């Protein structure tokens, strides 16, 4: 068997197409070149070094790719009007046949070009991959059928939302069912359970993709399966309750579920099928979705459709807050009485009933230091399984990624030493015996500001040692992957130094250079962005594009990922991004932080 050379072009110039004979000569020339290449390199054929050891299904996929590639070499003008499905069959009895009845808009030359290309890509009887054709065809005693498609076909189904009403009516009315069946493409069927099924072939999937663009919006990625083993919020909906289905939400109208059913529908028992199912936006569906959302997240606001597509959480505005901590999927605000209010993704464990002085938000769990100096962590994989860790501690920092080697560090209140959680020892161990003023932990390691002024950084990997940076800060250290920022001893404002000066950094990420800010009181950086609150309460951010905070005065700022959150002078939490997608808000929310 031979995979023959392809047709390089049948109609490369829509206005001046070359004769079909020229295209066929090009194909013949390509086959001759392939034969010469096989003669010189007998163990490399068609890019497949081990064809004989591949399974029949794998070989069939190889042929499908070949047919698709060869037919696409027929450059067709007016692709929006020329489209369709090509079926190529091969059998010992009948040889090769090409069916173009599923194509639309082709001229006679187009049809001859596509047919010739499909035949040239199909197996022919003058050789094989180190075997004769008679030997190869034993793998496919029933013959072989391959489908491919080209062009830009119209959507598979009528546009939404009008089609949703017709679809729903078809599940209860015989007349509406007959009308719906008449609007479906050939080989598609309306099943007894109301789902629309069709063959799992490229031509149908291409058209389905175009239709799904009108069927609704995909739920925000936050509602998918997460690290705490929560299923997708929409998993299990529909007739068969398939977990790996894809959902499309058309708020207040319907939810469309797309899936490949398993086990297959009876009429697809010998060939895979695909289907889309419509879920009515009724009271039962809404109640179930809200219950699932409540299990996953807290403080979500807005109507159900918006929560699924653009989740938005509000920190309660009923009491004044003093500080805020921001994580990848959650934010926690601390009030004057030491009470925490956390919004966003729920943790498997509840916040301990204690008064806190410091809090840090991570990926899977959060930690806080109580008034008594004890350390509590709660959530999935929390140190000490959520039990109390005796201190006394003054400040805690948590890595905002789930795969960090070091997840939690805290500064002792009595000795000011820095301790970090060692999961092997099951306790906090000393990371630095020097007196530490503040520390920040991220996915790469930890940086500590000593009370004497120097900044020390080390990576989380075993055996790494502290490195003293060329900076003398007196407070407010913040870090990202490449920089460490703080308030220098000499002069005001915020300055930054390289975290790893000996290591190369991307050219597009230059050293951060914050704008002049008098008497900084709170600083946060994330990536190449940063914000500073000065003693007067003014909030200044960089680059300029982020400096869009509404007029007012603030007491603190924090950041994680693309999101910065600040506490106003009167205790409200305000953020400059929706949570958790990172899409910018049109205007900054007032009471209650838009996360």
Residue 34, pLDDT > 70, answer: no
Are residue 146 and residue 171 in the same domain, yes or no? no
Assign 432 to helix, strand or coil: strand
Residue 388, pLDDT > 90, answer: yes
Does the N-terminal peptide bond of residue 161 adopt cis geometry, omega within 30 degrees of 0?
Answer: yes
Are residue 82 and residue 180 in the same domain, yes or no? no
* pLDDT at residue 428, as a whole number: 96
Q: Is 101 among the domain residues? A: yes
480: Cα separation from own chain's centroid: 22
* pLDDT at residue 271, as a whole number: 62
* pLDDT at residue 4, as a whole number: 32
Q: Is 469 among the domain residues? A: no
Handedness of CA 75, 81, 85, 86 (dihedral sign): negative
Q: Is 28 among the domain residues? A: yes
User: Are the CB atoms for 495 and 486 separated by under 8 Å?
Assistant: yes
Give me 13's structure tokens.
């110039």
* pLDDT at residue 226, as a whole number: 62
Once rounded to an integer, what is the mean pLDDT over residues 403-431?
93
More confident residue, 52 or 206: 206
Residues contacting 215, CB < 8 A, separation 6+ = 160, 248, 250, 256, 276
Are residue 263 and residue 293 in the same domain, yes or no? yes
What is the spatial distance between Cα 497 and Cα 473, in angstroms, rounded to a whole number? 11
Once rounded to an integer, what is the mean pLDDT over residues 219-225?
82
Are residue 196 and residue 303 in the same domain, yes or no? yes
Residue 122's Cβ-count burial label (10 Å; 0-12, 13-18, 19+) is: buried
Assign 522 to helix, strand or coil: strand
Instruction: Share the mean pLDDT of the chain.
Output: 80
Q: What is the pLDDT of residues 320-378, one digit of tens each?
A: 999 999 998 889 999 999 999 999 888 888 899 999 999 999 988 999 999 999 999 99
Going across the sheet that includes 554-560, the strands are 554-560, 563-568, 573-575
Q: What are phi and psi of 219, to 5 degrees?
A: -60, 150
591: Cα separation from own chain's centroid: 31
Are residue 55 and residue 81 in the same domain, yes or no? yes
Pick the last residue of a domain from 308, 331, 352.
308
Residue 181, pLDDT > 80, answer: yes
Q: What is the pLDDT of residues 94-111, one digit of tens each?
A: 778 889 999 988 889 889
* pLDDT at residue 12, as a whole number: 33
Highest mean pLDDT among 138-152, 193-207, 470-484: 193-207
Are residue 182 and residue 89 in the same domain, yes or no? no
Once rounded to an integer, what is the mean pLDDT over residues 50-54?
53
Are residue 123 and residue 166 in the same domain, yes or no? no
Are residue 276 and residue 169 in the same domain, yes or no? yes
* pLDDT at residue 546, as a whole number: 72
Name the pLDDT band for 542 (thresholds 50, 70, 90): confident
List of E strands, 156-288: 189-190, 196-199, 246-250, 254-259, 273-280
What is the spatial distance between Cα 62 and Cα 50, in angstroms, rounded to a whole number? 12
Structural domain for 224, as ranges: 162-308
Are residue 141 and residue 189 in the same domain, yes or no? no
Q: Is 371 among the domain residues? A: no
How many Å from the N-terminal Cα to the C-terminal Cα in the chain?
A: 61
The residue whose two tokens read 């201190």 is: 391
What is the spatial distance between Cα 495 and Cα 514, in angstroms, rounded to a whole number? 7
Q: What is the pLDDT of residues 228-285, one digit of tens each?
A: 556 778 877 654 445 557 889 998 889 999 888 777 777 765 567 889 999 989 999 9
Name the pLDDT band for 502 (thresholds 50, 70, 90): confident
Are residue 146 and residue 169 in the same domain, yes or no? no
Are residue 190 and residue 235 in the same domain, yes or no? yes
Total structural domains within the chain: 2
More confident residue, 93 or 31: 93
Q: Is 363 among the domain residues? A: no
What is the spatial distance between Cα 397 and Cα 388, in angstroms, rounded to a whole number? 16
More confident residue, 485 or 43: 485
Q: What is the pLDDT of residues 545-590, one digit of tens each?
A: 677 666 789 999 998 877 889 999 999 998 876 666 555 543 333 3
What value, to the nearest 5°, has the Cα angle with vertex 90 and ends 85 and 94? 120
The residue whose two tokens read 């040889």 is: 95
What is the spatial distance between Cα 525 and Cα 440, in angstroms, rounded to a whole number? 11
The residue whose two tokens read 């997240």 is: 297
* pLDDT at residue 239, as a whole number: 47
Q: Is 448 among the domain residues? A: no
* pLDDT at residue 127, as a whole number: 42
Are residue 117 and residue 198 in the same domain, yes or no? no
Pick the last residue of a domain from 118, 150, 182.
150
Does the N-terminal peptide bond of residue 291 adopt cis geometry, omega within 30 degrees of 0?
Answer: no
Pick the last residue of a domain from 100, 129, 150.
150
What is the spatial distance between Cα 468 and Cα 461, in angstroms, rounded to a whole number? 17
Once rounded to an integer, what is the mean pLDDT over residues 384-412?
92
pTM score of the predicted model: 0.75
Q: What is the pLDDT of residues 128-176, one digit of tens each?
A: 443 444 455 566 777 788 888 888 889 999 999 899 999 999 988 999 9
* pLDDT at residue 545, as a whole number: 67
Q: Is 108 among the domain residues? A: yes
Q: Is 391 among the domain residues? A: no
* pLDDT at residue 427, as a whole number: 95
């Amino acid at each position: 068997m031979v995979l023959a050379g392809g047709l390089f072009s049948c109609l490369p110039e829509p206005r001046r197409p070359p004769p079909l004979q020229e295209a066929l000569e090009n194909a013949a020339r390509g086959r001759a070149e392939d034969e010469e290449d096989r003669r010189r390199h007998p163990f490399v054929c068609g890019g497949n070094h081990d064809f004989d050891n591949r399974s029949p299904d794998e070989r069939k996929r190889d042929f499908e790719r070949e047919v698709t590639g060869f037919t696409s070499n027929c450059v067709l003008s007016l692709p929006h009007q020329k489209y369709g499905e090509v079926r190529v069959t091969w059998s010992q009895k009948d040889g090769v046949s090409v069916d173009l009845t599923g194509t639309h808009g082709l001229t006679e030359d187009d049809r001859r070009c596509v047919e010739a290309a499909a035949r040239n890509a199909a197996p022919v009887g003058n050789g094989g991959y180190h075997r004769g054709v008679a030997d190869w065809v034993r793998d496919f005693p029933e013959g072989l059928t391959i489908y491919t498609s080209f062009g830009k076909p119209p959507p598979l189904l009528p546009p939404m939302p009008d089609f949703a009403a017709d679809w729903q009516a078809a599940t209860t009315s015989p007349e509406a069912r007959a009308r719906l069946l008449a609007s479906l493409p050939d080989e598609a069927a309306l099943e007894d359970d109301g789902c629309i099924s069709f063959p799992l072939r490229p031509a149908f999937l291409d058209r389905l993709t175009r239709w799904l663009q009108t069927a609704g919006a995909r739920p925000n990625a936050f509602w998918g399966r997460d690290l705490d083993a929560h299923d997708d919020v929409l998993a299990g909906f529909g007739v068969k309750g398939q977990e790996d289905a894809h959902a499309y939400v058309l708020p207040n109208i319907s939810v469309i579920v797309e899936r490949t059913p398993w086990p297959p529908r009876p009429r697809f028992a010998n060939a895979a099928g695909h289907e889309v199912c419509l879920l009515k936006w009724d009271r039962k569906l809404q109640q179930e979705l809200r219950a699932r959302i409540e299990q996953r997240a807290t403080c979500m606001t807005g109507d159900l459709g918006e929560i699924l597509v653009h989740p938005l959480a509000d920190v309660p505005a009923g009491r004044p807050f003093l500080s805020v901590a921001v994580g990848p999927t959650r934010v926690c605000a601390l009030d004057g009485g030491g009470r925490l209010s956390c919004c966003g993704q729920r943790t498997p464990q509840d916040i301990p009933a204690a008064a806190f002085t410091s809090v840090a938000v991570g990926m899977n769990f959060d930690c806080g230091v109580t008034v008594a100096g004890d350390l509590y962590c709660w959530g999935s994989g929390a140190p000490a399984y959520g039990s109390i860790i005796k201190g006394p501690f003054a400040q805690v920092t948590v890595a905002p990624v789930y795969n960090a080697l070091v997840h939690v560090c805290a500064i002792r209140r009595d000795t000011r030493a820095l301790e970090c959680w060692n999961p092997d020892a099951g306790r906090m161990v000393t990371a630095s015996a020097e007196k530490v003023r503040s520390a920040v932990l991220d996915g790469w390691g930890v940086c500590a500001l000593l009370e004497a002024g120097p900044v020390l950084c080390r990576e989380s990997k075993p055996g790494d040692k502290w490195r003293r940076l060329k900076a003398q800060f007196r407070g407010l250290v913040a870090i990202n992957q490449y920089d460490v920022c703080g308030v220098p001893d000499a002069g005001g404002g915020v300055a930054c130094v390289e975290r790893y000066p000996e290591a190369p950094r991307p050219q597009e990420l230059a050293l951060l250079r914050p704008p002049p800010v008098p008497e900084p009181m709170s600083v946060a950086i994330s990536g190449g962005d940063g914000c500073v609150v000065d003693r007067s309460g003014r909030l200044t951010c960089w680059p300029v594009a982020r400096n869009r905070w509404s007029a007012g005065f603030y007491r603190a700022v924090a950041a994680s990922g693309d999101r910065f959150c600040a506490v106003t002078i009167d205790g409200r939490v305000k953020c400059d991004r929706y949570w958790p997608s990172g899409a910018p808000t049109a205007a900054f929310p007032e009471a209650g932080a838009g996360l």
